Each structure stands twice: as C-alpha cells, then as structure tokens.
Amino acid sequence: MTAGLTVAFTGHRPDKLGGWDPLHPVVHRVKAAIRQALIEEWPRYVVSGMALGVDQWAAEIAGLSDDIEGFPDRFEALVGERGITLSGGQKQRTAIARAVLREPKILILDDALSSVDTYTEEKILGQLRGVMRDRTSVIISHRVSTVREADMICVLDEGRIIEQGTHDELLALGREYADLHERQLLEEELDAT
C-alpha cells in the first residue's frame, strides 16, 4: 500500500447479529498476531518519565489533553491499581496517543473510537488526519462515521469483501454500506431524542 493511503474495513455490528462478527475470518487472526507482538514488545515502547506513556502532542491528537489536565499528577499520573482508573474512552484515547507517539509507518486503528461519543470521535479523527497523511493507515470499525474519510472502504460480510470504494461511491451504489449508513443515522437521531 502507498504511504498516506487510508484503508477502512466495516460491516454490521456483531451485537446486532446475535454475536456473529462479519470481520472475524479476515481480521481476528491479524488482531491476535498484533496483540501478541505488542505484549512481547511493549516494554521497549514505554516512554520513560511518563507514567501515561504519552506527551502533550500525542495527547492533543488523541483528544486526551483535557482529561490529563484533570489528573492529580497530570502526565506523571499512575494508571491502574495504585493510580487513577481510566474510563473506556480514556483507555482508547491513551492507546491512540501511545501509537501516534511512536510514529509508526503503518497505523492500525481497530475499533479505536468505539467508546467515545460521535462529537469526540470527529474531533479525534480531525487531528488524526494530519498524522495519517504521512503513513499507511488501516481503520477497522463498525461505525460509518469512523471510516467515511478513508481513501478506500471495504465492506465485509462473512469475511468477504462485498463492496469497495469511497464513502460517496458506496452510498451511490445503494447497497449494504448505504443501508448501514442509513441505519446508523437513524440510531443517532433516536439517541438524540
């Protein structure tokens, strides 16, 4: 893939389909390998002198700065058993900040924004666009709002790519992606009322 290219994978949310996950055959094996590599290599990646493992720049990108300002020891705050406990969204944003801080050649965001609201998601994605411009990025998300700016979106069903294109191209097809987009817009409207 070309540096600066963003490819996204999406499909139905598994909780809406009785636990079946259309991304499973394609993505989960890759996720397991990445997870194992991170477990084995994590000590090499911890940034010394920063208990959270992030700096101001990375925290800004991940939309975490305001949260950190509220921590008693700010960037030196201990996380976990003897320190502060992070919410789901704070954990995801901390992981994004740590990934961005490493300046990887390939950035993989696997449902990285599922625990944040759509306003925060849009803010973080706006910040990430500058970071993603210089590297290959892979986004995996069931939210259309997360993948819509990708250069190429692959819609998966039972582990197979059933549609492929940009957000506008897929909407114009009027098939699975357009249906998913419409349902998610309706869900957002219902949640707002």
81 touches 56 (CB < 8 A): no
Q: What is the pLDDT of residues 120-134, one digit of tens each?
A: 889 999 998 888 887
Q: What is the pLDDT of residues 80-109, one digit of tens each?
A: 655 567 888 888 888 888 888 888 888 888
Q: Calculate the alpha carbon distances from 107 to 77, 85, 100, 167 in Å.
A: 26, 26, 8, 20
Domains and CATH numbers, the chain: 6-192 (3.40.50.300)
Question: How far is residue 69's CA from residue 91's CA, in Å, rounded to a whole number?
Answer: 16
- E strands within the chain? 6-10, 106-110, 136-140, 152-157, 160-165
